[in-house]
Structure 1
Amino acid sequence: MSTTTALRASVPLHEQVDNAFREQYARDGYAVLAGALTPQRVEDLNRDAIRICRNTPLSDGDDLTGLSDADVLRRFLCIHYPHKISEIAAAAMHDEQVVAALTSVIGPNVKAMQSMLFVKSEGKPGQAWHQDEHFIPTRDRSLTGVWIALDDATIENGCLWVIPGSHQRGVLYPDRDQDDPQFDCTAEAYDFPYTEEDAVPVEIPAGAALVFNGYLLHRSLQNSGKHGYRRALVNHYMSAESLLPWRKEVEGSHFGEYDFRDVVLVAGEDPYAYKGLRDLSAPHARRDKEGGCDR
């Protein structure tokens, strides 16, 4: 199936995040928030992306001196945790419209644990089918991704594809390594009861955001355009009430106490504020297959 998600760009925020938004999110596992970021915020993020890439080498000894801004950007696929080195990216994590959408589908208390800045210039790969909850497990299945387009996202330049309703079972499907050159190093999910015909491309303009459930099967394809980027800022959120059993830096001797505390509260209260916060994640560049996958 091939369709483009309809947007309501002229509709005020309080009317965008309405029952229809929540109903689509519950039914399909995703909904689109038009105008999540202002054109100025998008421009500022794209400008800051150059600085972020210049300060985040792909490997030790990587020298970007003398390269044009365009050549620097083309070397990168994704930067993890840009909110830790960019005030602009950190502010976007707290954006009023985004937070309003999050509280409507998660609840009043929301925390973030990850940000990613995708550059994806022409020829760069996409990601195979996967579910974000596979990588970031929440205790209450509240993981929610916010994929904000910083360029118009189209089929040609590698927009996201989703399988509507694939989140409803609440099942994490098996995954395996893959060697398809159109995808980066990320493992692919398989053995799920859907076909390629069930997939829908989500083409959205710069500034719009795709809000989606952590169990939703989604992928992106290679940027096949002859020039240009498909930049996107992706943040991951969850309910602040839920512990986050992520990574090995945990407290206590029982799995039930595991809680990753490198988080950012974006709405409401943090019931676990007494635990404090820890700086556990460092900004880094994601490798693609050209740079060798870290298995």
Structure 2
Amino acid sequence: MTNICQAFEDNGFAIIPGIYDNETINRIISTIKAADSTSSAFRRSADLFAIRRFLHEVPEVLPLLLNENMKRLIAEIIHPDYFIVKSIYFDKPAGSNWYVSYHQDLTISVNDKQELPGFGPWTVKPNQFAVQPPIKYLENIVTFRIHLDDTTANNGALRVIPGSHKKEIQRPELIDWASTEETSCEVPAGGVMLMKPLLLHSSGRTTNEQQRRVIHIECASIQLPNSIQWAEKLSLQ
């Protein structure tokens, strides 16, 4: 695990297979399918099905996600003060034409809009607000991407620029792509990809008619200014 921690710090991402077995994956998927999908947090199109505020909308799935393997991984990667601050479920169906160009994850979800030094711009989202915070908050966040299907370059595996998280906030259009290394992050079903939000990453279209389902969970340990709160704060215990 020491090598994984070092790779995560150096590259801004790491891939850990075998966190969930097939039985657990099937139970997770069944729990999601049984959830009440009438909430505005459930969004469906021909190219993507997503559940925002996922762990609040489908709380029954959290005990399945926090199995012994995942608890050990969490304990190795982050210290006990960390808590969940955002969760999203992505289902990219077979034949999806949906893709995302290179970007960094620069916003956090909070419960209210306030004029605060260093916070902005703001975006209104259902049941919450999104805001770009001072960089110390982004550097503190660790993302766990739980893969429920085999993910390859042919069905939307993330492409990343290793080490780009160390350069703070960047504008992708100004990057010299001719001299930039790109890596495709293929993850088997049941595996977890660790990622830092400032890592430049993108996702391509599906070309192999294979579904890709991912649970995206962000964790942090820094408290926000007293006038706002994390919109999705949950304990990891």
TM-score range, shorter chain: 0.7 to 0.9
- Structure 1 segment 1-295 matched on structure 2, within 5 A: 18-52=1-35, 54-56=37-39, 76-121=48-93, 122-132=95-105, 134-136=106-108, 137=133, 139-140=136-137, 141-169=139-167, 171-174=168-171, 189-192=172-175, 194-195=177-178, 198-225=181-208, 227-239=209-221, 242-244=222-224, 251-252=226-227, 258-260=228-230, 262-267=232-237
1:73/1:95 CA distance change after superposition, 3 Å:
farther
**Structure with greater strand share of residues:** 2
Identity rate of aligned residues, in percent? Answer: 20
Which structure is larger by alpha-carbon Rg, 1 or 2? Answer: 1
Q: 1:266, CA displacement in angstroms?
A: 0.8
Distance 1:113 1:195 in 2: 36
Q: Tell me which moved more, 48-57 or 212-221.
A: 48-57
Shift of 1:41: 1.9
Shift of 1:106: 2.8
Q: 1:60-111 deviations in whole A, cap 9, x for unaligned?
A: xx9xxxxxxxxx8857432112211324432245343334333333322210
- 1:53–1:73: 8 Å Cα contact kept in structure 2? no
Residues matched between the structures, number: 210
Structure 1 runs of 4+ with >6 Å offset: none
2:169 aligned partner, one-letter code: L
TM-score by length of 2: 0.76
In 2 relative to 1, CA 195–147 (structure 1 residues): closer, same or farther, beyond 3 Å? farther
Cα 1:74–1:261 shift into 2, 3 Å:
closer
**Uncovered stretches (5+) of structure 2, i.e. residues with no partner:** 109-132
Q: For residues 178 and 32 of structure 2, what CA distance do their matches in structure 1 show?
A: 36
Unaligned runs of 5+ in 1: 1-17, 63-71, 175-188, 246-250, 253-257, 268-295
Q: 1:58 to 1:105 in 2, by over 3 A?
A: closer
